[in-house]
Amino acid sequence: MEYLNGTGAPHALQHCRRCGVDVQPGRGDGYLVRIQALADPAPPLFTPQDLAHDFRQEIVRLVEALQGLSPQEALEQVYCQRVFWLCGRCYRMWIEDPVGAGGVGPPGER
Ligand SMILES: [Zn+2]
């Protein structure tokens, strides 16, 4: 099928990540979902016990822990992004329960 989008170039056909159905960008029948996960970005909180640690030993421990990771694995421990298409049907199901299994919700909303 030929589509006219003003540029003459068709948008690449996408597929729903959940059900695999074709999603044609520009036809309004899908959603581009972007999820970004950041490791706790708040400034760290320290207790007096934390400050009593031997920092040299702590740095050695951290370096050893990172040695088994690839650069990509190390990056994904602090930042991860996922981008995918969902068809309209799958989007409506997903957005109602994006964390899965109903989630537990914040205290007071259970
Ligand atoms: Zn779908």
Measured in Å, residue 11 CA sits from the centre of ligand 1 at 18
Percent of the residues in the chain that have a pLDDT greater than 70, as a whole number: 86
The alpha carbon of 58 and the centre of ligand 1 are apart by a number of angstroms equal to: 47
Cα-to-centroid distance, 18 and ligand 1 (Å) = 5
Could you tell me the pLDDT band of residue 5, with boundaries at 50, 70 and 90? low
CA 97–ligand 1 middle distance (angstroms): 15
6 pLDDT band (50/70/90 cuts)? low
**Chain length of the chain:** 110
Cα–Cα distance measured from residue 39 to residue 37, given in angstroms and rounded to the nearest whole number: 7
DSSP state of 33: E
Tell me the pLDDT tens digit for each residue of 66-105.
888 898 888 888 999 999 999 999 999 999 999 987 767 7
Nearest to 85 by CA among 36, 13, 33: 33
Range 39-65 average pLDDT = 89
